[in-house]
Amino acid sequence: MSETTTLSCLVFRDLRPVCAVVESCVLRVLSEGEWGAGEGGEAERPLPFEVLGVEGPRAARQDSAPRSGAARVLVLGTDRGTLPLLIPGALTFEHFDVERFAPLAGRAFDASVFSGVITRDESIDVFLLDPNRLIESLEPCPSLA
C-alpha cells in the first residue's frame, strides 16, 4: 500500500502564467544562515534555494540556465516537510517563513517529477499539485567546499 502525502498550498499574488510544468532541476535548500547572509535589504536577499543543475530539452533551449538566487521557486508544505518547485515566469511571495526550511538545509531535491496547473480565484493564483504524482527523491547535498 502506497504512502499518501497531504499537500497544502501557499498562496501567491501576481503569478503570470496560467499553467506551468516544473523544469527538471535539482535545488539545494540553503541554511538559514546562508539565506540570511546579505549586506543589502530584504529585496536583495537571495531565494532560499540554490539551483544545482537543470536538465532536459526545455532547459537546453533556454538562453541561460537559472543561477543561484535567480530561480523562481514555489513552495508547497506537506506532512513530511516542505518541497520546492521551480516554475517558469515571475511570481511574488505572499508570505514566506524561512524557519520552515531549517530542517531541510543541506538536502537536494529532484523536482523533475512535479507538475501542476495554476488556477485563478478572483485576484489570487494558487498552484495545485496532484498528490498522486508526488515522487520524492532526497540526496545528500554536495559540499560547497
The residues near 67 (Cβ < 8 Å, ≥ 6 apart) are 51
- Domain borders along the chain are 7-140
Mean pLDDT by 10 residues, the chain (145 residues): 34 29 42 50 46 40 37 42 42 37 44 36 34 32 33
The predicted pLDDT at position 58 comes to 38
List the grid coordinates of 47.
Answer: 531565494
The pLDDT value given to residue 30: 52
Percentages helix, strand, coil for the chain, rounded to the nearest 5?
15, 40, 45
Q: Which grid coordinates are listed for 45?
A: 536577499
